[in-house]
């Protein structure tokens, strides 16, 4: 539905997060969905659905992410799609990669899943999102939202919250 409203530029597509106080803020939505991407093969096509959601609501979350996400997310979906043994039409993938993805043989599936590669790609999407927005307030909001996820995910040291925290403290 969000994709259709986005394409139609429906007047009820965009939200004013200052007026709609009972809706999580954009940074909270982005972080929650990025954390859920930690296990994209769980529950069917969860990762694909999360990526489709991010792409569909990108303009609502921040106008600066639209070009990046419209280019990168179809490639990530294609990468995950190869894990589900389906592929997207090549017309959905732009030749100018903002995120370069490894070539995945068509025969690869969940048995040959490389979680490390996926985590690197997801973290790169987050990193590139921060770069393209280039606003200190946005970055602080993401960091705050991420820190709020840490207690929830503390039991799992492989969670993206732990990795983002470790990654950011190194740099």
Band the pLDDT of 15: cuts 50, 70, 90.
confident
Measured between alpha carbons, how far is 37 from 130 in angstroms, rounded to an integer?
17
Measured between alpha carbons, how far is 89 from 45 in angstroms, rounded to an integer?
17
Handedness of CA 7, 71, 103, 131 (dihedral sign): negative
What contacts 140, CB < 8 A, 6 or more positions away?
Answer: none
Contact 80, 47 (CB under 8 A): yes
Q: What is the mean pLDDT of the chain?
A: 76
Annotated domain spans of the chain: 2-11+25-170
pLDDT tens for 80-121 read 887 654 333 333 444 444 444 444 444 444 456 778 889 999
* CA 19 vs CA 14, 23, 33, 57, 80: distances in Å: 12, 9, 22, 18, 36
Point out the least confidently predicted range of 17-21, 56-60, 125-129. Answer: 17-21
Residue 144: per-residue pLDDT: 95
Residue 130: per-residue pLDDT: 96
Helix locations, the chain, DSSP H: 2-8, 26-36, 46-61, 66-83, 115-133, 136-153, 160-170
Q: How many residues does the chain have?
A: 171
Mean pLDDT of 5-23: 76
Residue 103: per-residue pLDDT: 44
Point out the least confidently predicted range of 68-77, 95-104, 152-161. Answer: 95-104
């Amino acid at each position: 539905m969000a994709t259709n409203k986005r394409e139609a530029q429906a007047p009820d597509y965009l939200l004013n997060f200052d007026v709609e106080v009972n809706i999580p803020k954009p940074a909270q939505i982005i972080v929650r969905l990025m954390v859920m991407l930690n296990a994209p093969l769980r529950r069917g096509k969860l990762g694909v659905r999360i990526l489709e959601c991010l792409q569909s609501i990108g303009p609502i979350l921040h106008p600066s992410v639209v070009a990046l996400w419209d280019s990168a997310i179809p490639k990530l979906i294609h990468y995950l799609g190869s894990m589900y043994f389906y592929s997207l039409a090549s017309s959905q993938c732009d030749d100018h990669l903002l995120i370069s993805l490894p070539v995945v043989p068509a025969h690869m599936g969940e048995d040959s899943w490389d979680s490390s590669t996926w985590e690197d790609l997801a973290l790169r999407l987050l990193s590139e999102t921060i770069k393209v927005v280039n606003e200190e307030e946005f970055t602080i909001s993401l960091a705050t939202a991420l820190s709020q996820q840490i207690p929830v995910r503390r039991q799992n040291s492989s969670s993206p919250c732990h990795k983002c925290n470790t990654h950011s403290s190194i740099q």
